[in-house]
Amino acid sequence: MRRLPALCLATLTTAAFIFVSPAMAASPDPVQQVEPPFWWTGMAVPDLQLMVHGRELAGLKAQLDYPGVELLGTESVENGNYLFIDLRVSPEAAPGTLQIALQDADETRAVIEYELKQRAPGSAERRGFDSADAIYLITPDRFANGKPGNDDTADTLEGTARSEPGGRHGGDIAGMHQHLDYIADMGFTQIWPNPLLENNQPGYSYHGYAITDHYRIDPRFGSNEEFRQFVAAARQKGLGVIQDVVLNHIGDRHWWLSDLPAHDWLNGNGLKKGEYVITNHSRFTPLDPYTSDIDKREFVEGWFVDSMPDMNQRNPLLANYLIQNTLWWIEYADLSGIRADTYAYSDPEFLQHWALRIQREYPNFNIVGEEWTRNPALVAHWQRGEHDPASGGRLKSMMDFPLHYALRDGLANSDSWNSGLIALYEGLANDFLYPQPDRLVIFGGNHDISRLYSQLDEDPALFKMAIAYIATMRGIPQFYYGDEVLLQSPKHRDDGVVRSDFPGGWTGDRSNAFTGRGLSKKQKAAQDYVRALFNWRRQTPAIHSGKLKHFAPRNSTYVYFRYDDSDKIMVAFNKSDKPQRLDRARYAEVINNETQATDVVTGQRHALDTLTLPPRDVLVLQLN
């Protein structure tokens, strides 16, 4: 049987715990796990389902007597070591500890003491992230090692191997906590760490996407309480925290797999290779009008990889478990957003229930889904669901992969009638497909793709253009840690190198990007540019919510404007090796009577009548 998690053992006042009747004292506890470990009063949906795991629980009857809490019933599954208890917590229920007795005939086998907490004031009204924000994406194991003492723990399989690109390097929550000032000073307002939940796998566990316990922060990152303290400290500095949620799969060392609740808890006919299929990655099957049933089934039900079993969200008990787990972390940790990994791979009907439940509890919250495709129609499909009850998903935001590829291709490729900057222009023109393109999350790099600087042939001029684009384009910008100091990688996918250590995050590092010590001139210039531009962006409503108008590229130049009733921003790119003078008359419909503009980074003044773009440069100008 599985241990109680550290949260339950360490803080009995904040978690579910169990005691047995005196008659059972000599026997092992029949109940070993209750999830969620506690809950809250005042939730919009009163229903709560407890997963109870232990020894021979099937057939036990539950009893409780607590004002405002109704026992709706219990559900057993084919594995007798599980019992699901359905409760209804009315609005009148007061915070406190309710006792749930598990009885076998007239004998009480165990009593679960379950805590209902008071919901924090204003929790339901919390604001999610939006286009006024800028997100800093961190791979926690590779950012900073703030607490070397947790690098190796007695209850986890994989130890630290910093010399190995695919090994654990020791970064943790304490490291992120210690450098909140740096993140805020760079102009960012939200932090998205890759998953922090337990990944107790024998190898390659640092990335966080092979979860083995849904209610436990991996001890090599810290504890549940340390995560909550990190979020609270971030809020004090004007930073929200977005949790990376994995709905589609788990790690093959998840505690469920040693005692699976039911045969249909996971997709596939078994846990041995050959008894399940690997997903075909055919992302179009949910909306392809001509798709075959087998293709659709293999996409949704196929495993991501052999070490990541695919969860069957058509099982209502599992679906409810995942929904409650997401709500638990939002409420417990005080999150400001969710990033949903491999979004389209999950069952579409489940996704709709999951997103609707979160929206009901937190109407102003935001979720961004990952749909990794170059095709904007597919991304638009998932965003469209928010106002379409017949469409699974119902998300406000999606990762804008099509514009990501347009950005990289547009800057890296030479300019012609069908390549180079035209890719940026036409990529943006696809916005007619989206119901609200300003809600899309735009990015130049992330943890799954080559480093931006390397993809742009380590060209500082092109890198500067990419940063200007991400900081001024419509949508919600997301920036990958270390790109500000030009971290490099191969152009092909190499996860361990892409997720390299942030300079200065470990004692003894030769350079320190947090302080600037040991950085090259190019690195310092890049970091200063990112800092200046994103701090300016934070205070510029025309970039957050203003209109956008762009002009077709000419002579390796591309110009667009962001503007509202009180401000106009001009962004002008010149990829050519020669200065390019812009014709004011061409942009008159936006410029109107303006004659002067100020570079938002350098403060330099420019006359719009004689505006000349320097070679291989970008100007971000505030018209005044």
Rounded Cα distance between 594 and 540, Å, is 19
Rounded Cα distance between 284 and 300, Å, is 11
Prior bond to 460 cis, omega within 30? no
The number of residues making up the chain comes to: 624
Distances (CA, A) of 240 to 187, 487, 544, 576: 13, 25, 17, 40
Annotated catalytic residue: which of 213, 341, 371, 386? 341
The amino acid that residue 453 corresponds to is Y
Rounded Cα distance between 215 and 107, Å, is 31
Strand partners, 51: 35, 84
Residue 141 designated active-site: no
**Contact present, 429 and 404 (Cβ < 8 Å):** no
Annotated catalytic residue: which of 198, 370, 371, 409? 370
**Contact present, 290 and 284 (Cβ < 8 Å):** no
Token readout for 193 is: 């760490």
- Residue that the structure tokens 């006042």 belong to: 13
**Contact present, 217 and 231 (Cβ < 8 Å):** no
The phi, psi pair for 13, rounded to 5°, reads: -75, -10
Short-list 167, 333, 309, 178, CA closest to 244: 333
Angle at the Cα of 228 (from 68 to 386), degrees rounded to 5? 70
Rounded Cα distance between 185 and 609, Å, is 36
Residue 460 DSSP SS3: helix
C-alpha dihedral (538, 541, 365, 138), degrees to nearest 10: -30
How distant is the alpha carbon of residue 157 from its chain centre?
A: 25
Residue 386 designated active-site: no
**Contact present, 171 and 140 (Cβ < 8 Å):** yes
Short-list 587, 585, 605, CA closest to 596: 605
Q: What is the torsional sign of CA 177, 178, 181, 186?
A: negative
**Contact present, 411 and 466 (Cβ < 8 Å):** yes
DSSP string over 195-220: P-EE---SSS-TTS-S-SEEEEE-TT
Question: CB neighbours of 561 closer than 8 A, spacing ≥ 6?
Answer: 548, 549, 550, 568, 569, 570, 571, 587, 590
Token readout for 126 is: 């919390």
Known catalytic residues are 341, 370
